[in-house]
Amino acid sequence: MIPDLQNVPPAPSPLSGRDCLTLGEFTAGEMSLILDEAVRIKTLQKSRIPYRPLRGRTLAMVFQKPSNRTRVSFEVGMYQLGGHALHLSPEEIQIGKRETPSDTGRVLARYIDAIMVRTFDHGDLEELAGAADVPVVNGLSDTHHPCQALADLMTVREEFGTLEGAKIAYVGDGNNVAHSLAIACALTGAELTIAYPEGHGPEGEIFDLAGSLGASPRLTEDPGEAVRGARVVYTDVWASMGQETEAEERKETFAPYQVDEGLMDLAAEDAIFLHCLPAHRGEEVTAGVIDGLRSRVFDQAENRLHAQKALLYLLMS
């Protein structure tokens, strides 16, 4: 008989009422708690055990940047947890244009139980979160992508059983994905190396933050050096949303950083490939790698759902 957990009250969460803007708000123990909860919630979902701890709760999803994975994973996640998600498009809420980010935060907090924001300027997100007295989750900003990093490390832990000492190589642009991965690795003991073209490394502030939490990533301009012996090889698009005018120039700059079969051959024998998606086959990664046996990109994409459900449950309980 399948147990029904719908009427079981959620246990008090040590993260209740907190924000998640960078992952740097959390301790190593709290990071472990989030990942443990993600695994538990995924197991319940796969077992088709009803679990509705957020019944009657509403999440406002504020999109200044569109995304199918972010919208679907948060909306479905809230539904599966028993709550409701409200999609707010750029036409409906223009943060910093029609009203200040702080006013947006104050108003939304009077209506709903938590806010997810996917936006450009991280400063706007911080201002909104500072004014709202409900949990605020960063669905993506130009500087950080914490929910992606949670899914990334959940995938690595599923594959290898542990994160402590796991060698991860990130190859490409030192962008928001690389920033959050650096913070997440510092909190979990994973060993991150970032290989990037000159002038495209991670921001120094992020490097320092990771060092204050655990260990800063190793930095190199040699992709082969980064990947050699790694158990995880990770890349992202060369031009992110908002950088379309730079796309052609970036193709030339980043061409030596393509993850192809030759680069993967330098990694450990059991190495896996990750990509946050969407991917451009033939640019940052070859089709043979992303569609090959070592690729875990669709497991990684699925884990956005489970990791975000865990985060929402812990922040909103």
**Residues acting as catalytic residues:** 118, 145, 148, 236, 276, 304
Q: Residue 309's Cα: distance from chain center in Å?
A: 13
Instruction: Name the amino acid, one letter, at 306.
Output: H
Backbone angles phi, psi at 290, to 5 degrees: -70, -25
The CA-based angle 170-299-62, given to 5 degrees, is 80
Q: Residue 92's Cα: distance from chain center in Å?
A: 25
114 within 8 A of 137, measured Cβ to Cβ: yes
The residue to which tokens 């947006």 are assigned: 104
CA distances from 14 to 18, 112, 146, 237 (A): 9, 21, 19, 36
DSSP state of 202: P
Sign of CA dihedral 75, 78, 79, 85: negative
Backbone angles phi, psi at 84, to 5 degrees: -135, 145
81 within 8 A of 75, measured Cβ to Cβ: no
Instruction: Name the amino acid, one letter, at 10.
Output: P
Report d(CA 175, CA 171) in Å as an integer.
Answer: 11
Report d(CA 156, CA 271) in Å as an integer.
Answer: 10
Report d(CA 93, CA 104) in Å as an integer.
Answer: 8
Backbone angles phi, psi at 235, to 5 degrees: -145, 170
Say whether 60 sits in a helix, a strand or coil: strand
